[in-house]
Structure 1
Amino acid sequence: MEKIIPLYKCNYTLNKALLDSLCLISYKCGKLASINFTYPKAKLEAEETYYLLLLANKKISKSNLRALERGEKVNNPIEGNSIYALLSHINNFDATTNNGKKHFEDTYFVNKIPYRTNKKIDDFEFELPPASKINPLLNKLYKFFEKNEGISSNLIFAALSIFEIISIAPYKKDNIVLGYFYSRYFLKESCNILKHIPLAKYLYKSKENMNLALLKSVSEGDCVHFFLYFCDLINNCLDELAKSGSKNPSSLSPKVLKMIEKMEKGKFYSSSELLELMNLKSRLGLHKNYIKPALEANLLLMSNPLSPTDRTQRYARKQK
């Protein structure tokens, strides 16, 4: 009987299907970039916090999500504060050295860091390396990134990051969350459009496909199957971006800037209050000509970013 190779010992190869998928991602990114599309930042951070917590088997209420979006702290779950802080400063995260992992640990884990000491963790059926090999394997990964910078695609690095962090499993739990931030770093480095994709949402919704990709990778000793899964996921993210994203205007009209200037800092306004503030009568005109452009330019916060059409939606001037 042929011996099964552990995930962390898998090779990776390139094949035509993977190259085709990478080309499709590049095409979609180029198309979105040419028309200046992006995913609303406030909505993205709220959604990603929600789904990252689900990936970590934790839940957060919509009211607590709104509190995070307003810059407030929440008590349940406490990790919501940590994830939102990491997402808000995603540009400071570095996955190419151990500094990124340390930054994650200092921010995410509220109490003691749950380092893995055994070869088994809950809800993970694959063989893991001994705890003594975790740091050497991570250092080997960083050296691989350094050696192949400018040679391999950052999209490959993004896929490899999640695969390796899951396979090495430095913690007893929540390894997927660390893998997410490593992957997010390389997506950001790949192109500006990929900074805005709802990655956590699709990781959570495709957990079954992820497990199948891991099973196929371990059975054949080649993580190209996981790479294909990841590229399909990115393509699906880009399709949502095209449908749900917002076109960034090259310049804002004076009336939008006037509304922002009139709004008091830290105060949330209903649509009725904004109509009165701007001396307008048409609610439709307010949303089309004022609120929508301001949201697209990331100048407004929503009280409920997960439900943009909420009848009780309120808006606040975004603090710079």
Structure 2
Amino acid sequence: MLDEIIPHYFNNIIFYSNFAEVEKNIIKIYDLDLIKRIFYMFDDEYSKDIYLLGLINRMLNFQVSKGIMFNLYYSHIFNFFHKLSDSIIDSFDLNGEKWNLFDFSLINGINSQIKIYSRSQYEIFTNFFLEQYRYKDKLFAEEGDYVIDAGGYIGDTSIYFANLVGNNGKVFSFEFIPENIAIYKKNLDINPHLKDIISIVQNPLYDVSNKKVKVLLEGPGSKIVKDYDNNFTYEYNTITIDDFVINNNIKKIDLIKMDIEGSEQKALNGAINTIKRFRPKLAICVYHEKNDYYEVPFLLKKLLKDYNYKYYFDHFTLGIGESVIFCKPNSNM
């Protein structure tokens, strides 16, 4: 497992498979004119490079050993991955899985009182140390921000945001899977200094409210599905971001993060009025479906065309997951 997520410092940083086959697959699956248009959307060269590398990485048969070593860019941070192992102070088993309790106060070089239960050391590392929902010094949650965390899972990203926005801010976390919420509430209880900043909303986000949707329960990968299976699928009522904001008389939204297993486009279409009204910063995942690489950027470009945004792109694993497009409103508008 560690071989899949830790840079191989003793090997070449970029591994090539049959690159002619990669090019053929890209041409077969993607419209290169569309890819070119998206490439030129991005505001800096780093984003353009990472976007193309991510596209190539998906075509390398999803084999990490043949992929691009993205985390070269983060090699100076990887010491903290190993330090996280030393911060485990407790654990418990749930349904055959081990959940560890990480105490950040035990990590040298980190001034933090955060504690988190998680079954994945790398998820904690990605969210808190690589800071998956921050784009360098250009886009991040700030003190006093009101944040929508779409895809709250076990509360790790919401706790990350709450620590940044502080008591003058607010995090509205959308998570509806009972198993996830059970761990989420444990994480809130062990972070009492952040607990009151976070509100859990137990509905899936969509483009319409009060629609019954079928959800396949797979822990962090739970998602809305079309096919119904009584053994694995459950029904939930949806809500849109627009309706949530209006119904709760929310006066501002400063940042919207989405990692909702392929439902990002539906949720964005349900947030059009909120985006127009508040011009929030956006951090939207684009890796769940192969078409996300161009469909989500084009949708964002369409939604934001009159609001003077800048676009950035980053990626946070050696595999195909955790690609994020960032949208920053121009303050000069």
Instruction: State the TM-score bracket (shorter-chain normalisation).
Output: under 0.3
Which structure carries more strand by proportion?
2
Structure with the bigger percentage of helix? 1
Q: Considering only CA atoms, is the larger Rg found in Structure 1 or Structure 2? A: 1
Q: Scaled by the length of structure 1, what TM-score is found?
A: 0.25
Pick 1 or 2: higher relative contact order, CA cutoff 8 A, min separation 6: 1
